[in-house]
Structure 1
């Protein structure tokens, strides 16, 4: 390995570690923002040698295991319990769990990401209104297969958890869904996976049973 290649590798690792710490300690939940801040702190704000999201998530898990093991484990279980409650409430809209609460990297500041698949966004809105659940609505730009599309998004804040709920059509279940055009497909699981994970305290954080995927 050349000296330049070695230096580049060290820079990527340093930025990944700093980005992971920013996410774990400061509550940044956006990988791109964490990378940019970490690059500035590393003295290389203009570098193109940035780690990818997988590298940052690996560094985040390592940081959590080293410095936040018990706290993170308890927080993850709490968030999964809240996710299960909300998914049960929204069962008619075919809910899936996604994001950090699924992957196991959720920390103190993480929200719960849910994906709904229904023919009518208005039905979701009326459901929330009928139950006096306060929400903020917006449109979120998502890559669905080869198409970039604006989809409805609802943000709900409760005393002990924040929910980010994105609404898709049933046909989108067959497509790969990405947050960005060049991002990796979002992992998603049904309530049955969550039931199994909560029933087994030592269950692995990552998806193990493909039968519970769409």
Structure 2
């Protein structure tokens, strides 16, 4: 590599890192949830809107972890614990549907703007709706699309949205056998990490460590 190309590569890497750090700050402080939007907005703020050297989502998530540890350590820990308590409460309510926690509340990158994301498993969506109605809980219905194979088609699944202690909760309803295979994350294309009630309980223990095999 020539010296000129080496300098250009160094500048590209520096800009990529700066965009990742600014995108992480936007997610942590302004509540942006879409990583693609966050990186584009970060590039604009850094006066590089035309750059093609945008960081990957995993780079933004790593920058977000660093930002939260450096600038929001105590507040972030308290927020995460509060959101996990809400998730625990919701999962106990949905116990008949083998609930699984996913998303930022599980990964530990959640902020005060984050939703609690659950996956439920039922013979029919109506079973879950009836469960909500039996307990007189208000909710709205929607759909989300998920992909299970890397290049496979996206399929729609019903979603129930409701609020617990001023925090939005989103529950996606999958068929019973959907518990065997997690859908792929829109952020990195990998199967989503999902935690059972038992695993979440272990996460919330004082040491915050999981023992044994995740369930």
In the TM superposition, what is the alpha-carbon distance from 1:65 to its structure 2 partner? 0.9
In the TM superposition, what is the alpha-carbon distance from 1:137 to its structure 2 partner? 0.9
Q: How many residues align?
A: 209
Pick from 83, 90, 93 the counterpart of residue 89 of structure 1: 93
1:105-144 alignment, distance < 5 Å? 105-144=109-148
**1:108-142 Cα deviation digits (max 9, x unpaired):** 11111111122211111111122111111111111
Mean Cα deviation higher: 146-155 or 166-175? 166-175
TM-score when normalising by structure 2: 0.90
Q: 2: distance between equivalents of 1:72 and 1:182?
A: 24
- 2:183 — aligned with what? 177
In the TM superposition, what is the alpha-carbon distance from 1:182 to its structure 2 partner? 6.1
Q: 2: distance between equivalents of 1:159 and 1:96?
A: 20
CA 1:181–1:57 in structure 2 vs 1: closer, same or farther (change >3 Å)?
closer
In the TM superposition, what is the alpha-carbon distance from 1:179 to its structure 2 partner? 3.8
Q: 2: distance between equivalents of 1:123 and 1:58?
A: 39
- Contact preservation (8 Å) 2:23, 2:41: yes
Query: Are 1:197 and 2:203 matched, yes or no?
Result: yes
- 1:149 — aligned with what? 155
Name the SS for the 1:76 alignment partner.
helix
What 5-or-longer segments of structure 2 have no aligned partner? none
- 1:74 — aligned with what? 78
Query: Are 1:14 and 2:18 matched, yes or no?
Result: yes
Q: 2: distance between equivalents of 1:195 and 1:86?
A: 13
Structure number with larger C-alpha Rg: 2
What 5-or-longer segments of structure 1 have no aligned partner? none
- 2:213 — aligned with what? 211
- 1:162 — aligned with what? 168
**C-alpha root-mean-square deviation of aligned residues, in Å?**
1.8
